[in-house]
Amino acid sequence: MASYVLRRILVTIPVMAIVALFVFSLLYIAPGDPAAVIAGDQASPADVERIRQSLGLDRPFLVQFGSWLWRILHFDLGTSIFTNLPVTSMIAQRIEPTLSLMMLTLVLTLVIAVPLGVVAAWKAGSLIDRVIMAFAVSAFSLPVFVVGYVLAYVFALELEWFPVQGYTPISQGFWPWLQNLILPSIALGCVYIALIARITRASMLEVLQQDYIRTARAKGLGQRGILFVHALKNAAVPIVTVIGIGVALLIGGAVVTESVFAIPGLGRLTVDAILRRDYPVIQGVVLMFSFLYTLVNLMVDLTYTLIDPRIRY
């Protein structure tokens, strides 16, 4: 078990290295000159060259990559070109809203989607099943920002149940924190809920046809017991896989949701940085998200061993 965990962790290192190389090269070959942007309107070519040298942009690729990698390993993600602040502190400032949003969305999704999928599988072929699946496939097709706008308009502006925008840190109270995140979580979660519901239904359907379920029923176990204790546990592997992969969906959707609801998170930071060509920030954030994603998938892999004792590598 321990060796499996260790091996899984070791495997992530080359993956992250590839990501790092890719992220670094991406911006190395990018057009546009950050030195010129920094130098500003009134600078002369000599000034631009001075700035380029001070940023170390005139050294060969491998040297730049090497020194960058070295700094990364010391958790020094560099300094933002535009704000002159260390990237690490910028990320630290904005990670709480994004993580909160993603976690809340995840919880909401699991709480809504899994039961929906189970019910749909249980009543396969019936009206309920069709309705749930129709809803799922429709929700899967809606663009996130449209859902966001509709929710904001109806629930925040008209009904005034929730604030329209912004983020309150959890240190200022649980309910204010939750209030700001409910609408964005629902908007972000729509697609995710649909996806998980579909996968849950499909996986449950297959499990429900197995012999051991028939045995359990013959033994006289109650429906709920069968569904949630036996069937779900066995159906869990694909569901958990999709949850892991779906985190990428969440990160992508968070970008848009944060923009619509003015949440000061990493998604917005990334978009701003990319549009401004703020290289160190782009590199830092993409690295961070990739690391997060890899971590989530690692945890997913480890969860397999908990759910399914047969999976022991």
Partner 1 sequence: MDRRTVLKGLAGAGTLAAAGGLSMPALSQGAVARTLRFVPQADLANFDPIWGTQYVVRNAAALVWDTLYGFDDKLQPQRQMVESEEVSSDGLTWTFRLRSGLKFHDGEPVLAKDAVASLARWSARDPQGQTIKAMQNELVAVDDRTFKWVLKAPFPKMLVALAKNNAPCSFIMPERIAQTDPFKQITEYVGSGPMKFARNEWVPGAKSVFEKFTDYVPRQEPSSWLAGGKHMLLDRIEWVTIPDPATAAAALQNGEIDWWENPIPDLVPVLKKNKNVAVDIADPLGNIGVFRMNHTHPPFDNVKIRRAVLTALSQEDYMRALVGDDNALWKPLPSFFAPNTPLYSEEGGDILKQRNIDAAKKLLAEAGYANEPVSCIVAQDQPITKAQGDVTADLLKRMGMNVDFVATDWGTVGARRAQKTPHNQGGWEMFHTWHAGADCISPIGYAAIRGTGDKAWWGWPTSEKVEAEVSAWFAAKSLDEEKASIGRLNKAAMEDVIYAPTGFFLSYTAWRKNVSGIVKGPLPFMWGVSKTA
Partner 2 sequence: MSASTTSSVAIPPGLAIAKALPDLMLPVKVRRGVIGFLRNNPTVAIGGALLLTLVLIGIFAPYLWTVDPTALAPAKRTRPPSADYWFGTDALGRDVYSRVLYGTRVSLTVGLSVALLATLAGLAIGLVSGFVRWADGIVMRVMDGLMSIPPILLAIALMALTRGSVGNVIMAITVAEIPRVSRLVRGVVLSLREQAYVDAAIASGTRAPMIILRHILPNTMAPMLVQATYVCASAMIVESILSFIGAGTPPTIPSWGNIMAEGRALWQVKPYIVFFPAAFLSVTVLAVNLVGDGLRDALDPRMAKNL
Residues that bind partner 1 (CB under 8 A): 31-33, 36-37, 39-43, 47, 50-51, 80, 82-85, 90, 93-94, 149, 152-153, 156-157, 160, 163-166, 259-262, 264, 268-269, 272, 275-277
Tell which residue, 235, 237, 228, 229, has the closest CA to residue 209: 235
Q: Which partner in partner 2, partner 1, none is near 160 (CB below 5 to 8 A by kind)?
A: partner 1
The reply to whether 252 sits near partner 2 by the rule CB under 8 A is: yes
Q: Which does 308 bind (CB under 5 to 8 A by kind): partner 1, partner 2, none?
A: none
Are 167 and 265 in contact by the 8 Å Cβ rule? The answer is yes
In this chain, which of 78, 277, 303, 305 binds partner 2, going by CB under 8 A? 277
Task: Tell me the DSSP string of 82-146.
Answer: TT-SBHHHHHHHHHHHHHHHHHHHHHHHHHHHHHHHHHHHHTTTSHHHHHHHHHHHHHTTS-HHH
Q: Is 282 in the site for partner 2 (CB under 8 A)?
A: yes
Per CB under 8 A, the list member of 143, 169, 222, 225 interacting with partner 2 is 143
Instruction: Specify the residue, 88 or 259, whose C-beta has the smaller distance to partner 1.
Output: 259
**Which is closer to partner 1, CB of 69 or CB of 154?**
154
Do 98 and 175 contact (CB within 8 A), yes or no? no
Q: CA-to-CA distance for 177 and 189, rounded, in angstroms?
A: 18
Tell which phi-psi region holds residue 37, choosing left (phi > 0), alpha (psi between -120 and 50) or beta.
alpha
Closest C-alpha among 279, 306, 291 to residue 29 = 279
- Minimum CB separation of residue 164 from partner 1 in Å reads 4
Buried b (16+ CB within 10 A) or exposed e, 60-75: eeeebbeebeeebeee
Q: Is the CB of 185 or the CB of 203 nearer to partner 2? A: 203
Chain centre distance of CA 237: 20
The residues binding partner 2 (CB under 8 A) are 14-19, 22-23, 26, 29-31, 137-138, 140-146, 149, 153, 157, 198-199, 201-203, 205-206, 235, 238, 241-242, 245, 248, 251-253, 255-256, 259, 270-271, 274-275, 277, 282, 285-286, 289-291, 293-294
